[in-house]
């Protein structure tokens, strides 16, 4: 059994894999991590190896508890990965994007893959059929766009994302929903079209926190997988286990 830990700024995702299959998953608050982690581990005594992807704030005690629980790999920019990294500034590449590309090459061998991660930011990551990663794009995510309109204007309200009823918003709230949501949908569809013109047989993966909200409004032909990052971390752990 493999233990996968993805630590964000506020929450930590814990997952247990048997080979390539998730058998358990839990999301806990980072500030209460230690107690919740111990409870989680007690229900999985057969865990042997683990991987920690930390972009948040785990304490030394937290990390020590993880190391005591299993043989853990601390993911960083020097960790061997199952793809060829042609990114111009590899040391600045987000660990989450490394995990997503690893999932792409592990699950879609000999395929051109575009991974779209719809979270705080929307990231676009392309990996070729030769497992060569070149980069992609980064833009503001759904909630970030709503917050920006509220933070940088005097009168626009902060709204919770809603699916617009029409492209023409007949109120301020409706206009914000139209601008933000259709703006993102058109951006994603536009990026997909550009990649499809350049690369044949393109496989498209949508993942991240806003996957469910966006996937039903996007064009067909996109594979939605909210666990893609966790699966990528597991593939990196397996890759290093066989090294």
* Per-residue pLDDT tens digits for 30-89: 888 888 899 999 999 899 999 999 766 688 888 899 998 899 999 999 999 999 999 999
Which position has the higher pLDDT, 170 or 11? 170
- Cα–Cα dist 13/194, whole Å: 33
Radius of gyration in angstroms for the set of CA atoms belonging to the chain, rounded to a whole number: 19
Averaged pLDDT of the chain: 93
pLDDT value at 136 more than 90: yes
Q: Does 10 carry a binding-site annotation?
A: yes
Pairing of the two strands 112-118 and 202-207: parallel
The model carries a pTM of 0.92
Contact 75, 229 (CB under 8 A): no
Q: What number is the average pLDDT over the span 101-115?
A: 97
Which pLDDT score, from 0 to 100, does residue 220 have?
Answer: 73
In the chain, which residues fall in CATH 3.30.420.40?
2-74, 84-234
Q: Does 50 carry a binding-site annotation?
A: no
Q: Which one from 96, 125, 201, 210 is the annotated catalytic residue?
A: 96
Quickly state the pLDDT bin for 10 (edges 50, 70, 90). Answer: confident
One of 3.30.830.10, 3.90.1720.10, 3.30.420.40, 2.40.30.10 is the CATH number of 84-234, namely: 3.30.420.40
Q: Does 123 carry a binding-site annotation?
A: no
- Cα–Cα dist 112/95, whole Å: 21
The fold adopted by the segment(s) 2-74 is: Nucleotidyltransferase; domain 5 (3.30.420)
- Cα–Cα dist 47/69, whole Å: 8
| 96 assigned to active site | yes
Distances (CA, A) of 128 to 11, 12, 83, 104: 32, 31, 10, 10
């Amino acid at each position: 059994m493999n233990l996968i830990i993805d630590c964000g700024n506020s929450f930590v995702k814990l997952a247990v894999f048997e080979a390539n299959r998730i058998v358990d998953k839990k999301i806990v608050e980072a500030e209460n991590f230690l107690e919740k982690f111990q409870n989680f581990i007690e229900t999985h005594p057969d865990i042997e190896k683990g991987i920690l992807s930390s972009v948040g704030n785990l304490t030394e005690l937290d990390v020590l508890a993880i190391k005591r629980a299993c043989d853990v790999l601390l993911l960083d920019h020097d960790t061997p990965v199952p793809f060829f990294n042609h990114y111009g500034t590899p040391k600045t590449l987000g660990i989450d994007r490394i995990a997503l590309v690893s999932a792409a090459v592990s699950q879609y061998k000999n395929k051109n893959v575009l991974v779209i991660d719809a979270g705080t930011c929307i990231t676009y990551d392309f990996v070729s059929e030769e497992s060569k990663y070149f980069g992609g794009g980064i833009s503001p995510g759904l909630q970030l766009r709503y917050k920006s309109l509220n933070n940088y204007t005097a009168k626009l309200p902060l709204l919770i994302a809603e699916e617009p009823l029409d492209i023409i918003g007949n109120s301020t709230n409706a206009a914000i929903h139209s601008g933000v949501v259709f703006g993102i949908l058109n951006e994603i569809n536009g990026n997909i079209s550009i990649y499809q013109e350049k690369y044949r047989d393109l496989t498209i993966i949508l993942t991240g926190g806003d996957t469910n909200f966006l996937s039903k409004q996007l064009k067909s032909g996109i594979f939605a997988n909210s666990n893609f990052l966790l699966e990528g971390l597991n593939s990196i752990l397996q890759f290093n286990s066989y090294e």
